[in-house]
Amino acid sequence: MSTTITVIIVNYNTGALLQQVVSQVLTDDSVSEIIIVDNNSQDESMSLLPENKKIQIYYRTENHGFAASCNFAANKTKAEYLLFLNPDCIPTQDSIKQLVQELQQQAKAAIIGCLVKNPDGSEQRATRRRLPTLMRAIKTYSRIEKLAKVCTCFAGVNLNFAPMPTKTQQVQAISGAFIIMRANIFHKIGGFDEKYPLHFEDLDLFKRTQDAGYKLLFNPNISVVHHQGTSSLSNPDVKNLKKQGLLRYFKKHESRTTYKIIRAFMRIL
């Protein structure tokens, strides 16, 4: 019996890029199904999609957010593996198939990701990350982590300053633009936390996955291209949502004292 893979895409005004993403996914014969949840887009993105029996579309009358829409789609499929794919993230040839095959070989691994590139070919900032701690968050949001190339003592959440590994390694966090996960474990840990407004729901998922005893893997030899920001809100809105997400993460996973410190710090930014 062949492995079943469902690609889940949450769309909101992504434009013509959505068509490119879906068309590329359809070239990977390992993909069983593509579920697209449209959060009441007002552009032409959905009308440009190709017709294909593998594509299932769900239109929602309002924007329910990324986490809730991913959970909604995950509950519509019985596939063994789920790929949560941003609507502006284009996989390379057979990247999905290769990564799922690698994940299958690692019994204690629940999630695998890969190198996420900018359109110019450079590594995207959030490709290699660690889970947030108080000091890591302060270094990242104060932008001190930009000095990490000079001294690793300045390193925050992002690890793009470090040399790229040559083979797959265990990590704490990957890019949220391209997440392949075993479906049974996704459901076991309760899926995405829908109380996150937009950001940090991925880091929360990674944290709970590891707390449940499973590993995350990062393969540096397979890449995708992420046109970051195509489907996002205006910069002030995004900045505010990131702050809300960070505060929820710390309130949920850290001590009350740590939460109060990070809340005070974020107020001065």
pTM of structure:
0.94
Contact partners, residue 8, CB within 8 Å, separation at least 6: 35, 37, 70, 73, 74, 77, 82, 83, 84, 85
* Domain 5-267, CATH: 3.90.550.10
Question: pLDDT tens digits, residue range 1-38?
Answer: 578 999 999 999 899 999 999 999 999 999 999 999 99
* Cα–Cα distance, 166 to 140 (Å, whole number): 25
Residue 92 has pLDDT above 70, yes or no: yes
168: helix, coil or strand?
coil
pLDDT at 233: 47
Question: pLDDT tens digits, residue range 236-269?
Answer: 677 788 899 999 999 999 999 999 999 999 998 7
- Locate the domains of the chain by residue range: 5-267
pLDDT at 64: 87
Q: What is the mean pLDDT of residues 167-188?
A: 98
Question: pLDDT tens digits, residue range 191-204?
Answer: 999 999 888 999 99
Residue 234 has pLDDT above 60, yes or no: no
* Cα–Cα distance, 145 to 154 (Å, whole number): 5
